[in-house]
Each structure stands twice: as structure tokens, then as C-alpha cells.
Amino acid sequence: MSVIATFGSHSALQILKGAKDEGFGTLCICQKGKEIPYKSFGVADEIITIDAYDDFFKHEDVLQERDAVLIPHASMIAYLGIDKINTIKVPYFGDKKILSIEADRDKQNAWLKDAGLTVPKVFATPEDIDRPCIIKFHGADGGRGYFLAQNTDGFYAQIKDRINDDYIIQEYVVGVPTYIHYFYSPLDDELEVLGFDKRYESNVDGIGRLAVRDQAYFDLHSSYTVTGNHPLVVRESLLPKVFEMGSAVVEHSRKLTPKGLYGAFSLETIITSDLQFYVFEISARIVAGTNVHMNGSPYSYLRYNEPMSTGRRIAREVKHAIERQQLEKVLG
């Protein structure tokens, strides 16, 4: 493998920059009109422009000629869909089998619970709601359309014409959202904590700038559309728990697929005032919040003593796999 390729979106800048830093050539597959950042920041040696995401398959032979390995991220998974991802012939970093578990909220919830993590309570029907809840629709749509309800009437008053959509009713946990950036190396059998972020979401993070009286006057409803991320460090005494939770999900994942979870992943958590982590989601690949650490985080600095983004860490794993002739361990 001599080239690292990814889709131009999500975390492509750090994936491509990290690949360059590790000595790889880089290739970016971009939808027409979205090439500017990848040109301007100088991270892509080659850009393949496509009209629609499905057109990627017309260019697979080019990626194969270049001896490329493809690094997936959430946007690529959302654009192509899991079924099409399973047909990709270009070498792919990560375990494809874990994607269908991640995409199914029930299976995902079972994974987290069986790994021993604390998860928010899930209510099977609106009639069961007995506390503040967040209602989430399926599919990673950046939290768009989510709403809060604290009883059955409140649910029906807001669900309206989306009643037949796929949704989950989850206990609303009051605390601070904290996204943990992990990397598990299958080559060295080591779990690393590369950083943390918190999200900047519209409109909940804007509502906090208004007095309660104005919020009521404007008749505002909370929404959770991600617009950006902030870097974060956590209270140091929480770190042992952070490592413990990451190891538990990796270990349990081996019961779910033959290879299990490896590479970059994230636990999306809320930390309560009694310092409990409630894990509301797992992302089984690089999360966009790692973009806050393109030049490394305080934790990756401790571990590597050089700039180490999650994107670069992925490239380093691919490099080590090539050097040790163990590529099968990192390709899914």
C-alpha cells in the first residue's frame, strides 16, 4: 500500500495530512464543488471528482492501480450505505462487519450494556415515558429533529407526522456531553486514549445565550444539529474509568464479529454531577470531533511526544502493518 484514500468530508483533512506525515501518497474522492478545502490546505496529492457518491464505484480501479487503502468515516458510510460498503473491493481500514451492529440502535445498545457500561434507559413505547426523555430518529443526521418530552402527552404533541418513522425514546441524562476518542491497535493489542471533545450544537448551545423569559417568548424548541466541536480535557481522576470503558467495548466486540472493533472509535457519553458516565452511543470509526486535535491533543502529546492526530494514528497503524507484513489484521 502506498496511498491513503478517503472521501472529501468529515475528517478527511486530518486523515490525508496524517497520511502524508507518515510518508504515504494521498488521494481524495470529492463530490463536484467540494474540492476547495482539500486543494487549499494542500493535503491531497490527487483528487478524483465525482458527481454522485455512487460514482465512486466507477473509479475503484484507479484506487486499486494506485495501491490505495481506503479510510472510512461517518460521511462515507452515510453517503454509500452499508450494503454498498460491503461491495467495496479496494482495501478498507477497519472491520466492515461491525458497521451493521453500530447502525442498529438495539444491537448497539446491547453491545454497550453487555460490555458493562451504563447506558440511558430506553422506553419501549411512548406510554412508558415516566421522566425527561430525548426522542431520536434513526440514521446519523446530526441530531436534526430530535425533541424532548417528559410524558406521553408531550411525546404525542411533538411527534406529529413522524409517528411512523423509526425512533428511539431514551432517558434524557442531565450532565455534560463528552466524546472520547480512542484508538485500539490490533497489531500491538493496545488501547490508546487520543483525546476528547464536546460538540457545539444548534440551537441548544445558542439557547443558553437567551434569558428564560426570551426563550419562552420565542417559543423555542431544542435541537441538536452539530455545527462544530470544542477540545476538552477531563478531570484526571476520570481517566481510569475512560480506559476501562474502552477496553470493555473492544473486548466484548470480539463476541460480535470475528475480528472485533479496531482502529479509531468513540464513546459518546454524558458525565453526571456524581461523575457517572452514561454512554449513549458508540461510533465504530473516526469521529469528526477528532478534528479539534489535528495537531495532536494533550493526551496524544503525552503518548507520542509529536503531533499525532487520530488520522495520523490510523496511517501509522497501516504503516506498521505493512512493515510487519500483517495487513490482514487492519483490513476488513
Residues 169-182: b if buried by 16+ CB within 10 A, e if exposed: bbbbbeeebbbbbb
Only one of the segments 137-145, 242-250, 300-308, 315-323 lies at the binding site for ligand ADP (rule: CB under 6 A); that segment is 137-145
C-beta of 270 vs 331, nearer to ligand ADP: 270
Among 78, 140, 210, 327, binds ligand ADP (CB under 6 A): 140
Q: What is the DSSP string of 5-59?
A: EEESSTTHHHHHHHHHHTT-EEEEEEETT--HHHHHTT--SEEEEESSGGGGGGG
DSSP for residue 194? E
Tell the residue number behind the cell numbers 490508546, with chain if given.
192
Q: Is 289 in the site for ligand ADP (CB under 6 A)?
A: no
Q: Is 136 in the site for ligand ADP (CB under 6 A)?
A: yes
C-beta of 14 vs 170, nearer to ligand ADP: 170
Our CA dihedral for 169, 172, 173, 178, rounded to 10 degrees, sits at 80
DSSP for residue 72? P
Q: Is 311 in the site for ligand ADP (CB under 6 A)?
A: no
Cβ of 30: how many Cβ atoms within 10 Å?
Answer: 20
How far, in Å, CA of 93 to CA of 328, rounded?
A: 10
Residues in region 195-254 near ligand ADP by CB under 6 A: 199, 201, 224
How far, in Å, CA of 90 to CA of 159, rounded?
A: 42
Only one of the segments 165-173, 187-195, 234-242, 251-259 lies at the binding site for ligand ADP (rule: CB under 6 A); that segment is 165-173
Residues in region 260-279 near ligand ADP by CB under 6 A: 268, 270
* Burial zone of 330 (CB within 10 Å; 0-12 exposed, 13-18 middle, 19+ buried): buried
Among 143, 186, 246, 311, binds ligand ADP (CB under 6 A): 143
Only one of the segments 76-84, 168-176, 249-257, 310-318 lies at the binding site for ligand ADP (rule: CB under 6 A); that segment is 168-176
C-beta of 72 vs 142, nearer to ligand ADP: 142
Per-residue interface string for the shown chain with ligand ADP, residues 9-38, x marking contact by CB under 6 A: ------------------------------
Q: Is 296 in the site for ligand ADP (CB under 6 A)?
A: no
Tell the residue number behind the cell numbers 481517566, with chain if given.
239
Only one of the segments 18-26, 169-177, 307-315, 321-329 lies at the binding site for ligand ADP (rule: CB under 6 A); that segment is 169-177
Q: Is 79 in the site for ligand ADP (CB under 6 A)?
A: no
Sign of the Cα pseudo-torsion (239, 240, 241, 242, in order): positive
Among 134, 194, 279, 331, binds ligand ADP (CB under 6 A): 134
Q: Is 177 in the site for ligand ADP (CB under 6 A)?
A: yes
User: Which amino acid appears at position 310 of this protein?
Assistant: T
Q: Which residues pair with 331 in a beta bridge?
A: 93
Number of residues that bind ligand ADP (CB under 6 A): 18
Q: Which residues bind ligand ADP (CB under 6 A)?
A: 120, 134, 136, 140, 142-143, 170-173, 177, 199, 201, 224, 268, 270, 280-281
